[in-house]
Amino acid sequence: MELVLPICEALKCFGHLTCTYMEHHRKLERRMNDLLAKQRQLNAIKSDVEMKIKTELRLGRCVRQEVENWLLDVQTINGKIQNIDERTQNLSCFSRGHLGKQVSQTVEEVKEIIEQGRFTGALVIDDPSTAGVPFQLEHLEGETAVIADIWKHLMSDENGMVGVCGMGGIGKTTIMKHIYNQLLEENKSKPLFEKIIWVTVSQVFNITRLQQDIADAMNIEDLPKPKQKRAAVLRNELRQIRHVLILDDVWEGFVLEKVGIPIPIFSNGSRLVLTSRSNVVCRFIGCSEIVEVPPLSNEESMNLFLAHTGRGILKVPSLEEILGDIVGECDGLPLAIAVIAGSMKGIYDVVEWRNALTELGDHVTSVKGTDKEIYGRLKFSFDRLEDSNIQNCFLYCSLYPEDYRIPRVELIEYWIDEGFLERGSRQQLHDRGHTILNRLVNNCLLENAGDDVKMHDVMRDMALYIKHPYFMVKAGTGLKELPGKQEWKDVERVSFMMNMVSEIPPSLSPNCENLSTLLLQNNESLERISESFFQHMHSLNILDLSYTSIEQLPNSVSNLETLNALVLRGCKELRYVPSLEKLKALRKLDLRGTGIEKVPKGLEMLANLTYLNLCTESLKELPIAILPRLSCLQCLVLYVKLPSVKMNGLEAARLRKLEVFEGRFNELIDFNAYIKSIRGRELTSYLLVMASPKAKFDARPLVEGLNNAFFFNFELLGDCDVRNVFKIVAGHQVGSPNCAEAPFGSHPVARWRLLYLHPALIALVALP
């Protein structure tokens, strides 16, 4: 009897294990389908995360370690799933139960990784390796007394808060950048402060954004949402360290405690410095010392002017008096001096200088009021650009938020869409765009910022002054609702980018017949747009709704017959795009990263289309005979992972104007057909992927920055075919001096092999 109970328990346990085994055995296919569905969901989230990282990443910032670890987890689990999937292709009956159990466990792992990937905070932070990196300084003429005065107050135990005041363009920010660099240098030999923090506040004050900027500068992650709790976290962190906090470009007073900035006192040894155009603002915030920045003296003004034009102009006879008068018209303002000198650089004709003096005098006397007089001086340099397209390129920069670092390529793409760069190949247009940007930087109308450009806040104010009332710009201001219809009356270009608008209601149907550009990108909470919103926008050329959460585009978009560019990049919730049949003028359609499953109706009617991006995880098919009808295409991105989306090589070959192409061929015959068609062509940027329908890889990051990359999967090729394909691609015999590596004598053992076939041609080979 004593043996019966253990035997029964053992049989029960064995029976349970057997049932579980049979359950795994019987439901293997269903669970495998569940796993692949979860994998698709995971990779969609991964794609969104990578896209968001790309938009947030800037110089001096890096991806959070938590996010890096998550991306590695995704890579690992994808490899594991691929291994399981391969094992299911050749599986014995006895292995099904064991594999079914592994599949079930992997489903749970994927679910966990999906939950971990729902990040609530920012995906990037300030790079600790660049913390405290000095500013690249502009030439500073004079101001030594001002710098000495500010430094004295910073080193004194009596004054914890210092205000630096002066009119726009007087040099407050430049002076403080020199102070900031000097603090960093002094800290190397004698540590004065544990942290030196620089935050730009800008004209539209937003307490939440200011709190986040301070947190980013201090590498504080995941601030709580309520403002009071955010303030408590910041206050606690700042009180623990001896710091200098520089708040640049403050326009209105606010209470430090509400932000979370502790008032500097003798006991904590910290300092707070504000720069502002108003000493009233500085005193409201609590600055006990105010340092006024005066205009430059005549001698300092002349030295700064010559620093920008070069001293060679002094050798021109009879120019000295005119030069002195022009410098005098600048009224000691460093920004005006730099901009006007930049526009006269390289000119040695006395007649031109005399004419410039007359024009500058007219600009200054035509406006009254301190700010407007500054704009008058700066507008002189704007007018000297002469070319209206270049002037429009400059004015376009004011559509971005204040103090924003504008990516060069993104800006040039807008200029192309607007027609400012006229027509030509994409390479020619981008070359022309970079040339214009360089001219604007050399003329001091824009500032270089690494791979980006910036617009000085006074230059931006001047641009908006010039375009008033035809520009309506509320970019990056924390806007939650769009302005009422009465504010849209005369506008030509509108920018509400980078805000928190969640809905455009039916009550808003603005009558704006002259509106040509509408920028609504990066309103991530925007989910709904009413049908009536676009009803009276009959002149609209550019519509950018990228990185919003809209699920469908209103049908009224189908009637925007003048539309040149429709940008929906990163709208991951977007499932419906109405018919594009009437949009005959459309030249750019960007659907990258959207949730569409089929191409929009009427796509084949867009005969003027030059740019098409259909790189999306969800697209299920590409109808036959669409591509040949888009004969003007210069840029085509059709890298779609689903094997049901098939590229026809002969159709692609008929696109004779293509310069930039990313695509995937499932069949060798299509690949060969396309490769033959591009022989002898001037390639600009090509990414061709040749893979079997079951191949699962994304090798694009491995060849980032390469002009031409071709992909193969050897499962479809014999040795002879390999040789022939590479002869076609490279355009020369394998093994010639141009071929650095040609491993065709025997099969290589590595899974991936990078072949340098030609200086402009790279092949990344996927091996079985």
Q: List pLDDT tens digits, range 455-504.
A: 988 889 889 989 999 999 999 888 999 999 899 988 999 999 999 999 99
Closest CA to 271 of 150, 143, 132: 150
**Mean pLDDT, rounded, for 300-308:** 89
What are residue 708's DSSP bridge partners? 686
User: Collapsing DSSP states into helix, strand and coil, what is residue 70?
Assistant: helix
**Total Cβ atoms within 10 A of residue 292:** 12
DSSP string, 616-644: -SS--B--TTSGGG-TT-SEEEE----TT
| Banded pLDDT at 44 (limits 50, 70, 90) | confident
User: Which of these, 593, 552, 491, 517, lies nearest to 55 by C-alpha position?
Assistant: 593
Residue of higher predicted confidence among 696 and 219: 219
Q: How confident is the model at residue 30 (pLDDT cuts 50, 70, 90)?
A: confident
What are 25's two structure tokens? Answer: 């055995």
Question: Looking at residue 716, what DSSP letter applies?
Answer: G
184-188, 370-374, 600-604: which has the highest mean pLDDT?
600-604
In the predicted model, what is the mean pLDDT of residues 621-635? 88
**pTM, rounded to two decimals:** 0.71
pLDDT for residue 229 is more than 80 = yes
Q: Which of 649, 656, 651, 616 is nearest to 633 (CA)?
A: 656
Q: How far is CA 558 from CA 173, 208, 281, 447, 640, in A?
A: 47, 38, 49, 40, 26
Q: Hey, what are 526's tokens?
A: 């925007």
What domains appear along the chain, each with residue ranges and CATH number? 19-123 (no CATH), 143-292 (3.40.50.300), 298-462 (no CATH), 474-620 (3.80.10.10), 635-737+748-767 (no CATH)
Percent of the chain with pLDDT over 70: 79
Task: Evaluate if residue 439 carries a pLDDT over 70.
Answer: yes
Give the span between the Cα atoms of 120 and 690, in whole angstroms: 38
Which residue has tokens 């620089």? 198
Q: Which of 197, 182, 165 is nearest to 272 (CA)?
A: 197
On whether the CB atoms of residues 164 and 154 are closer than 8 A, the answer is no
Helix (H, G, I), strand (E, B) or coil at 32: helix
User: What confidence tier does 15 reach under pLDDT thresholds 50, 70, 90?
Assistant: very low
Predicted local confidence at residue 29, as pLDDT:
73
Mean pLDDT on 725-742: 35
Tell me the sheet residues that pair with 713. 766
CA distance 144 to 53: 42
Q: What is the mean pLDDT of residues 138-165?
A: 85
Q: Which of 25-29, 126-130, 149-153, 360-364 has the lowest mean pLDDT?
A: 126-130
Higher pLDDT, 16 or 417: 417
Helix axes 172-189, 144-155, angle to 10 degrees: 50
Distance of alpha carbon 626 from alpha carbon 606, whole angstroms? 10
Closest CA to 249 of 219, 304, 283, 204: 204
Mean pLDDT of the chain: 80
Looking at the predicted structure, is the pLDDT value of residue 730 above 80?
Answer: no
Residue 320 has a pLDDT of 83
Q: Given pLDDT bands bounded at 50, 70 and 90, which one contains residue 749?
A: very low
pLDDT for 21:
47
Residue with tokens 């006192």: 265
E strand or H helix that includes residue 611: strand 611-613
Pick the closest to residue 710 from 743, 746, 756, 667 (CA basis).
756
Q: CB-based contacts of 675: which residues, under 8 Å, 6+ apart? A: 688, 710, 725, 728, 729
Q: What is the pLDDT of residue 741?
A: 30
Q: Greater confidence, 331 or 488?
A: 488
Quote the CA–CA distance of 245 and 606 in Å, as a whole number: 54
71's tokens: 């991306």
Confidence of residue 691 (pLDDT cuts 50, 70, 90): low
Dump pLDDT digits (tens) for 499-548: 999 999 999 999 999 999 999 999 999 999 999 999 999 999 999 999 99
Strongest mean pLDDT among 267-281, 325-339, 372-386, 595-609:
595-609
Q: Are 504 and 482 in contact (CB under 8 A)?
A: yes
Question: What band does 95 get if pLDDT is binned at 50, 70 and 90?
Answer: low
CB-based contact 666:689 (threshold 8 Å): no
Mean pLDDT of 54-79: 75
Task: Report the distance separating Cα 137 and Cα 177, nearest Å.
Answer: 7
Q: CB–CB of 461/375 below 8 Å?
A: yes
Give the SS3 label for residue 267: coil
Q: Which residue has the higher pLDDT, 276 or 759?
A: 276
Lowest mean pLDDT across 16-30, 172-186, 410-424, 437-451: 16-30
- Furthest-apart CA pair in the chain: how many Å? 125
> What is the percent of the chain where pLDDT is above 90?
31
The pLDDT value given to residue 689: 61
Closest-CA residue to 531 (of 500, 560, 509, 562)? 509
Q: Three-class SS of residue 549?
A: coil
